[in-house]
Amino acid sequence: MITLEEKMSQFEELISSKIEKENSRRLEEKNHEINTFLNSQKALLEESAQRTAKLSKDRINRQKQEKISMAVQSEKRELLKMSEGFIKTMTLKIEDKCRVFVLGSEYPEFISRIVISTLESEEISKDSKLILTLAPANHNETRKMIKSELEAKGYKKYEILEGDISFIGGFVMEIPESNLRITKTLENSINARRDVIGQFIQNYARDGGTN
């Protein structure tokens, strides 16, 4: 028969066992809870680190692009500045060559051909009155040749005037009855070429030199 002391001993062992199991269970739960928390914090830290790295990378790329853009703009401004000087120099050289050409023996025939081809292309009636204003350079010879060509083509009503020195060369043709005015001066031709060249250089600068 089990004595009271033995029963008490067994009861104490049972209680101790239950307490130990309960403590083990709670310890395991707490460890799981701690591990879960640590893992979540680790994920947050990693996510934060990745976000910080991405923001840093984006900032560096943005700064790099800004520097590149500033360098490109500076280059374009320099190119446009150089182009202005280039166009001015080239225009002056062309003007000088035109002035030499206007004083030469080939100029009167050249302008006469342009006058006649303009009348034909514009389909100006031979009964229309023409007013031609010529550049002052080589005026007399040019006037004689144009007069001869007009009369040979059947144009009888015309007036030939001496124009402003800024014409350099060429002529302005007016048909009063048609309210028509046609300007074919060397000055206009030079300006047109200057605009074309200037536009080309501006486009080149704008497109970064890809065209």
Task: Spell out the SS3 assignment of 45-105.
Answer: HHHHHHHHHHHHHHHHHHHHHHHHHHHHHHHHHHHHHHHHHHHHHHHHHHHHHHHHHHCCC
CATH classification of the domain holding 123: 3.30.2320.30
Structural domain contains residue 155: yes
Number of domains in the chain: 1
Residue 142 lies in a domain: yes
Residue at 178 is within a domain: yes
Q: Identify whether 94 is part of a domain.
A: no
User: Which residues touch 188 (CB under 8 Å, ≥6 apart)?
Assistant: 170
Domain that holds residue 107: 99-193
Q: Edge to edge, what strands does the sheet with 158-162 contain?
A: 158-162, 130-134, 170-175, 180-185
Residue 5 pLDDT: 65
- CA dist 123 and 116 (Å) reads 10
pLDDT per residue as tens, the chain (211 positions)? 666 566 566 666 666 676 667 767 776 777 777 777 667 777 766 776 677 767 777 777 777 777 666 766 766 666 666 667 767 777 777 778 888 888 889 999 999 999 999 999 888 888 989 999 998 888 899 999 999 999 999 999 999 999 876 678 889 999 998 899 998 888 777 777 766 766 666 666 556 544 4
Q: Are 134 and 163 in contact (CB under 8 A)?
A: yes
Query: Does 151 map to a domain?
Result: yes
- 208 domain residue, yes or no: no
Indicate the SS3 state at residue 124: coil
39 lies in a domain?
Answer: no
Task: Phi first, then psi: give them for residue 173, nearest 5 degrees.
Answer: -110, 130
Is residue 162 in a domain? yes
